[in-house]
Amino acid sequence: MEEVRGYEEERKRLVELLQRQGVSEGVLKAMTRVKRHLFVPPPIIDQAYGDYPLPIGEGQTISAPHMVAMMCDYLELKKGDKVLEIGAGSGYHAAVIAEIIGNEGHVYSVERIKWLVEFSKENLKHAGYKNVTVIPGDGTLGLSEHAPYDKISVTCAAPDVPPPLLEQLKIGGKMVIPIGRYQQVLYLVEKKNGVAWERKCDVVFVPLLGRYGFKTD
């Protein structure tokens, strides 16, 4: 599909901004390729390349580009990685991961809201990503069919690390997860012989709901 010239320039400016913030070359390259305007609802398409979160409906949001970039960098994604994402939302973050890990890798993304499963699937298809599978369900249970994973990216805030996610992470694997209800902190969790936790930064994410998440009532 022919790309509208204005979006390409806006995307370039966004990538330059992220470069000044110290984002790695690999992640910048991926973000240069992923057309964020294909993942935002049409009424707000002109805001697609702002570095802030955008509403995608029902109180859910597509994360700010710098947050997507930071989370990808913390995971140290590599070609061929098998990645589990919790919270597909618009599909944008999954697309950035998919660009980095390449066609030898695969992203499995679990989403609990049915129409967001459809929205993300459509967006990913339209943008041409074949190495992402969006699955409906409660992501706090992980996705045992394809476990273990090299990396896990949780894109909503949890009360604590859901035990199934830690179980489904490979030894030597890494997970990024925001924890907390009002005051949230992004953690990098590494599974070695034990589990190493690194506090990264304060963040704002929508809540992870479900069996090992916050309650829905």
Question: Tokens 């919790």, residue?
Answer: 86
Site for ligand SAH in 156-215 (CB under 6 A): 156, 206, 208-210, 213
Interface with ligand SAH, residue 112, by CB under 6 A? yes
How far is Cα 135 from Cα 5, in angstroms, rounded to an integer? 34
Query: Residue 105 or 210: which CB sits closer to ligand SAH?
Result: 210
Site for ligand SAH in 55-94 (CB under 6 A): 60-63, 86-87, 89-90, 92-93
Query: Residue 17 or 209: which CB sits closer to ligand SAH?
Result: 209
- Single out the residue of 142, 183, 124 nearest to residue 133, CA to CA: 124
Site for ligand SAH in 123-162 (CB under 6 A): 138-140, 155-156
Known catalytic residue at 90? no
Q: Compute, in degrees rounded to 10, the torsion defined by CA atoms 81, 83, 89, 95.
A: 10
Residue of 63, 90, 109, 120 marked catalytic: 63
Would you say 102 and 80 are in contact if contact means Cβ atoms under 8 Å apart?
yes
* Strand stretches in 50-183, DSSP E: 54-57, 60-62, 82-86, 106-111, 132-136, 149-154, 169-179
Interface with ligand SAH, residue 111, by CB under 6 A? yes
Q: Which residues are near ligand SAH by CB under 6 A?
A: 60-63, 86-87, 89-90, 92-93, 110-113, 116, 138-140, 155-156, 206, 208-210, 213
